[in-house]
Structure 1
Amino acid sequence: MVFLGSEALAAGAVTRHQLTHHHEMLHRDVYIARGAELTPSDKARAAWLWSRRRAVVAGLSAAALHGCKWIDAAEPAELNQRSQHKVAGIMLHCERLDSAEISVVHGIPATTPARTAFDLGRRRGPVSAVLRLDALLQATTLTVTDVRALIGSHGGARGVVQLRHVLALADDGAESPQETRLRLVLTKAGMRPSRTQIEVYDEYRFIGRLDMGWPEWKVGVQYDGAQHWTDPRQRARDIEQDARYRELGWRIIRVDADLLRRRQLTIIRRVRGDLDAAGAPHPLPNMKKMARFLGNLAI
């Protein structure tokens, strides 16, 4: 637990010796138990305490408080406050926040999910922004419409042009950064999946859930983490499940980390081949603008 040393001493919760020898100072007067793992949420709380509880937690720190996964623990904490006094490990922003854009999470004032997405979607380049918005959409009840509503009141904000593209590319069905990257690879090739997290049933029971695909043409794409290849029981289940999908007329393309990282053209060829075999139009409709936007980006 992150805490203010002066408050803990005043309350008698720790002695000066314990504070010095059993705790680590993160910022001025802000401590954590020595050797404890510092999560993004802990860093957010530590930064807020450093501000003497005056700042609003923002950016990735707000996303962490809202329950986002896949935030790199090495990223600095982020605060929105007027003072721009620099401190190591904290990124300070000074942006106008309306009262409706501030929520309280675990007792800490933080930008709402919509405002957090508005901020993250304008920074760090479009691919990183989509990754972060997907995670925020997955972790909360936020919708793309909620974020678009803020553009009208902050239309002159820096990065709004990127944000509009990012919102068009975001999806609340991505359950990992790898799934987001895979979807973007397909989108860049003019083949954005029409659905994510597709539940497949036969006439009696649930068969499985596909990460993404085109149910209208019964083409599905699965991202398989390491356990799908290294765990024999999981591998056996995947093989049986694929057989059931095929019996129902589905074509399934499985993608692993090596394919996604090094052989993206192989993924594109396989997916395009199955879409062609299923009778899908070439190119898919309404893909030109998205594909053009992603055209020069490394994914």
Structure 2
Amino acid sequence: MEPFLGTEALSSGALTRGALRWNYRAVLPNVYLPRDETPTLEDRTIAAWLWTGRRGVVAGRAAAAIWGVTGIEAGTPIELIGPHARPHPGVIVREERIADDEIRTWQGLRVTSPARTALDLGRRLPTGLAVEHLDVLCRVACLTRDEVEQQLQRYRGVRGIPQARVALRLMDGGARCPEETRMRLLLYTNGVPRPSTGILVEDGGRVARIGMGWEGIKLGVSYFAPLEAGVGVAAGDLVHHEIVARTGWTEVGYVGMANAGLIARRVRSEVWRRRARRV
């Protein structure tokens, strides 16, 4: 059941005061959910929007989740752009500029466009976390760099824009999971040239996807699921390795980020060794 305004339920006759008091609880002033229901991120987003009198525009990570960014925790503060409101735990209302072309509608809610969402993520989150969200947003919302650049130009001089420029420059929709984003950023901080992402190699009609790499030197880096993922996944990985090897690529694989620093240094050495050999 979606959150609802208590006053509307009472005035329409859908609930009595007794039923409202005993069967529902207020998650925000005048905004209710069933008493035994644990609010999801979507529930909390709708509740916060109702709390603003349906005037707020959902922004930040709540907007990113609406656009399809996964991994955002249910307890994440809900950000909205709208008229000033009395502070309340778990909700952040920002009274700031937003243009009409930066607003979309989702199930009746107003939400920031993918480009505006990207801008706000980049200027308000730590760079690493921002890029993780931006990679997914870029992929699921088909966000282009031109759209992002328009936002940067429109809001140049606004607080956090230099930080946003760094995060948005690192955005890459070719990443398929947070582990690939984290490794790409680690390679970047270790001085490795920016790789291509989502590289497809083919062998006799069979196709394998390399997470990231450098096509000129046929060196790739890919994340693989841990052994606990099951026999089917492991069998698929064996086929993947065979295809990659037959196409002449060398692939560095990793399972977790525990030894990521060592892997990044190994990749850096191999990249520069192979590039020097080509000169």
TM-score past 0.5 threshold: yes
Residue pair 1:229, 1:235 contacting (<8 A) in 2 also: no
Decide which of 263, 267, 271 is 1:267's aligned counterpart: 263
Instruction: Give 1:56 deviation, angstroms.
Output: 1.3
Hey, what does 1:221 align to over in structure 2? 221
Unaligned 5+ segments in structure 1 are 283-299
Instruction: Give 1:192 deviation, angstroms.
Output: 4.3
Distance 2:193 2:14 in 1: 56
Matched, 1:251 2:214: no
Distance 1:192 1:26 in 2: 48
Matched, 1:159 2:133: no
Matched, 1:31 2:32: yes
Distance 2:151 2:16 in 1: 48
Residue pair 1:66, 1:105 contacting (<8 A) in 2 also: no
Distance 1:33 1:225, change over 3 A: farther
Instruction: Give 1:267 deviation, angstroms.
Output: 0.8
| Superposition pairs of residues 1-299 of structure 1, within 5 angstroms | 1-202=2-203, 204-226=204-226, 228-257=227-256, 260=257, 262-275=258-271, 279-281=274-276
- Say which SS state the counterpart of residue 188 (structure 2) adopts: helix
Distance 1:23 1:208 in 2: 52
Alignment-mate amino acid for residue 137 of structure 2:
L
Residue pair 2:187, 2:268 contacting (<8 A) in 1 also: no
Question: Which string of whole-angstrom CA distances, capped at 9 and with x for unpartnered residues, describes residues 152-188 of structure 1?
Answer: 2211100111111112111111222222111101111
Residue pair 1:184, 1:192 contacting (<8 A) in 2 also: no
Q: State, as a whole percentage, how many aligned pairs show the same letter.
A: 36
Hey, what does 1:291 align to over in structure 2? none
Distance 1:201 1:91 in 2: 49
Distance 1:164 1:6 in 2: 44
Aligned residues: 276
- Say which SS state the counterpart of residue 275 (structure 2) adopts: coil
Distance 2:134 2:48 in 1: 23
Distance 1:51 1:239, change over 3 A: same
- Say which SS state the counterpart of residue 88 (structure 2) adopts: coil
Residue pair 1:251, 1:274 contacting (<8 A) in 2 also: no
Displaced runs of 4 or more, over 6 A? none
Using the TM superposition, name which of 92-101 and 217-226 deviates more.
217-226
Distance 2:180 2:40 in 1: 23
Instruction: Give 1:240 deviation, angstroms.
Output: 2.9
